[in-house]
C-alpha cells in the first residue's frame, strides 16, 4: 500500500491490525502455543482495527487529505510497512514479544508524525490515535498478565 495522505495512514494501520489478527488466529492452530492468550490478542487486534477506522469518521475531510508522504519518506526506519509475519515464532512468548514490538513501532510512527504537525485539528486527531494505541497496548498487556496468573 502506498502511503501518501493521512487517511492512507489510518487505513494502513487498521489493515495492519487486521492482518496481525489473522496471523494470530493462524498461530492459535499450533498445538504448542497458548491458544487462549493468542485468541484474546487476535480479538483485540480486530477491535483495534475497527477503532482506528473510526478515526476516519472523526477527521475532517481536509485533515484526512493532508499529504504525509514526505514525512514517511524522511523516516526510513519504519520496518512495519510490510505485513506481519509470525511464522518464525515457535512459542507464544515470541508471538507476544513480536506483537508488542509492532505496537511500539506503530506508536513511534504516530509520535513522529505528531511532531511534524502544526495544524491544531491534526495534532488533536493524532493525539487521540496515540492515546488509543497506548491504552490498547496496556489493556492487551494486562490481559496477557491475567492469563499467566491463571
Residue 44, φ and ψ in degrees, nearest 5? -65, -40
Mean pLDDT of 68-84: 61
> Is 60 exceeded by the pLDDT of residue 22?
yes
What's the pLDDT tens digit per position in 129-142? 999 999 999 999 89
Residue 84 backbone zone (phi > 0: left; psi -120 to 50: alpha; other: beta)? beta
All structural domains of the chain: 6-149 (1.20.1260)
Task: Tell me the C-alpha distance between 7 and 147, whole Å.
Answer: 36
Mean pLDDT of 94-102: 86
- Going by pLDDT thresholds of 50, 70 and 90, the confidence category of residue 114 is confident
Taking a C-beta distance cutoff of 8 angstroms, is the pair 112, 75 a contact? yes
The pTM (predicted TM-score) of the whole model is 0.84
DSSP state of 84: P
Residue 150: the pLDDT is 65
What's the pLDDT tens digit per position in 63-75? 777 776 666 666 5
**In whole numbers, what is the pLDDT of the chain averaged over residues?**
81
Residue 112: the pLDDT is 86
Amino acid at each position: 500500500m502506498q502511503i501518501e495522505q493521512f487517511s492512507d495512514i489510518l487505513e494502513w494501520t487498521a489493515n495492519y491490525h487486521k492482518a496481525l489478527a489473522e496471523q494470530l488466529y493462524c498461530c492459535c492452530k499450533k498445538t504448542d502455543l497458548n491458544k487462549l492468550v493468542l485468541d484474546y490478542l487476535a480479538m483485540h487486534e480486530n477491535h483495534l482495527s475497527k477503532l482506528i477506522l473510526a478515526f476516519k469518521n472523526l477527521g475532517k475531510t481536509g485533515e484526512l487529505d493532508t499529504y504525509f508522504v514526505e514525512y514517511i519518506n524522511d523516516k526510513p526506519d519504519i520496518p512495519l510497512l510490510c505485513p506481519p509475519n509470525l511464522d518464525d515464532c515457535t512459542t507464544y512468548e515470541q508471538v507476544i514479544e513480536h506483537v508488542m514490538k509492532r505496537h511500539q513501532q506503530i506508536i513511534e510512527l504516530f509520535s513522529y508524525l505528531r511532531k511534524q504537525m502544526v495544524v491544531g485539528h491534526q495534532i488533536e486527531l493524532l493525539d487521540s490515535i496515540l492515546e488509543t494505541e497506548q491504552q490498547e497496548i496496556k489493556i492487551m498487556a494486562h490481559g496477557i498478565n491475567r492469563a499467566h496468573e491463571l
